[in-house]
Structures are given as C-alpha cells and as structure tokens.
Amino acid sequence: MSFPDDRPRRLRRTPALRRLVAETRVAPSELVLPLFLKEGLTEPRPLGSMPGIVQHTRESLRKAAHEAVEAGVGGLMLYGVPDTANKDETGSAGLDPDGILNVGLRDLMAEVGDSTVVMGDLCLDEFTSHGHCGVLASDGSVDNDATLAIYAEMAVAQADTGAHMVGTSGMMDGQVGVVRHALDKAGYQDVSILAYSAKYAGAFYGPFREAVESSLQGDRRQYQQDPPNLIEALREVDLDVAEGADIVMVKPALPYLDVIAAVRDRVTVPVAAYQVSGEYAMVEAAAANGWIDRERAMLESLTSIKRAGAQIILTYWATEAAQLLR
C-alpha cells in the first residue's frame, strides 16, 4: 500500500497550529462601523430588519463611538437621518451646518477625535423627498452635473465639522474630482476621499433603507453599477483614482468578491469593501433560526472579504468582531 509523502493536514491538527500558519488575518483596525443618527429621537430606535442595530440619539451615538474605539475599530462612517419634514427636492438638510449629519460629525470629533477615523456619508438620498442620490431633472432622471455642485458644497460642510474623510457614495460621474477640487479650494487638502467606486445596484440594500427611512420610489439602476459588469467597474475605479480618490471601495462585498480581487490587482491605493445591510441581515436571520453558527459565520465572512483583497471593511459587526478578534 502506498501512503502520501506530503501531509498538509499536519498543520491543521490543533488551534495553535492553525493560528500559526493562517494566511489571512482580519485586524480590528481594518474595520469601519457604520452608524445611523436620527433627528429628534430621545431613545435609540431598534431596526427590525437589522437585529442589534439602532438609529442613534446624539447621546447613544457618542456611547457607541467610545465602545468602537475601545475595541480598536479603525473608523466610523456616519449617516444622518433627518425628520421627514426636513426633506426636500434638493436634500438641503445635508448641507445645513446645523443639520443632523453635520451635528453628528461634530459630536464624533469632539468625543473620539483623532483616536479613530471619522467619516461622513456624502450623498443626498437620506435628505431628498424623492429618495434619489441627486437632484432630479424635469424628466424625472437624476441630473448628474447639478448634483455635483451640491456634493461640492456638502463636502466642504462636512470638512468644516473636522471630519477626516468623506465618502462619495452617489455614483455620479466626476464626483471625486469635483469634491477634491472643492475641498482643496476651501483649504481642506488633508481631508481624504473614500470613493464608492463600484457601488452596485443590487438587491442587498433593503434593511439600510429602513435604517435611513428612505423615500425612494423605484430604483437607482440609471446611475449605480450594473451587477453583471466587471470591466465597467474597473473603468469606474480608474476614473476615481485619476480624479484623486484616496481609497476605492466595492459595495456590496460578499456577492462581489471577484470584483474586490480585480480592483486589488488594479490599483495601488487602499481597497475597501462594504458588507452591506442585507449581508448582515441574512446571517442574523439564519442564526436566529439556529441554522448557522453566528460568530463563526460573522468572522468567516469578514475573512473572505479580506482574502479577496479588501484592506478596509465597512461592517455592522465592526465593534463585536473587533472584540472577538482581540
């Protein structure tokens, strides 16, 4: 009888051996926690479609920020959720220095300062009465260039709060270049841009829309990336890098691991991926039914995103995962 000479199983025999030879490791500092701040709340409001996630009050936001920093989380991405009465056709509440997003960014800077990276979402969908990521033309389509002018103002408003980074998530052509120019002109050369370069018009955003109380009717396929296309996504990435993106991102993460890998091979800037609300909700729902091991699924999914090539991962599990990883 012939026996194998090469026995890879030797290095899988114990937990210590497996740790020693692990090829991919997720570090807490590579995780970014998305947070929702709701205008007018007196108590945090749980989200039915995202167990464990809430719309925050200003007080609970500061507490969550402290917990994340203590766990070693690398960054915080803030989304502002205005009162419905403050939504309008142009999303003006997103530019208001006293609007909920900019107030929250100032709170985060005052509370955790430079102990983490404070990021603001640079998009209008939370603030528009129609729920789209930009202003509408007379035919109902999103007016790309009119939207860019508003993004420029919004970026400067967020920089005024002290935020370290803005996330250009609207998928408008030319948005990174316009925002970079506006920041530089206002004296904010050191404020970074996280470019949502390949943001796909996928089916995994439903719980997020509950979280931000989206007013969207219809979909965003006319401006977000089409799911079948990879080459087009690389074109978007190339354009964002050329326009001055400091980090490029793929969103969602798990259904697009091939895109993450292709982007990683393409660029020399850091690559991020967003593990979106639907990805989170599926694991939580399956775990609640006893169908999967929740913690193992959480960490395995993050490891797969890191293995595909993402250096930075936005995930709703950021604080909990960081605690487990430490």
Q: Which residues are catalytic?
A: 199, 251
Torsion over CA: 263, 269, 275, 276 (sign): negative
* Residue located via tokens 């190339």: 238
Cα 187 from Cα 224, distance rounded (Å): 30
Backbone angles phi, psi at 222, to 5 degrees: -75, -15
- Strands (DSSP E) contained in 82-205 are 117-122, 165-168, 192-199
Backbone angles phi, psi at 42, to 5 degrees: -105, -15
Q: How far is CA 41 from the centre of its chain?
A: 23
Q: Cite the DSSP H helix spans in 90-142.
A: 100-112
Q: How far is CA 75 from the centre of its chain?
A: 10
Identify whether the C-beta of residue 142 lies closer than 8 Å to the C-beta of residue 136.
yes
- Pair type for strands 117-122 and 31-38: unpaired
Amino acid at 309: G
Residue 259 has which token pair?
A: 């895109």
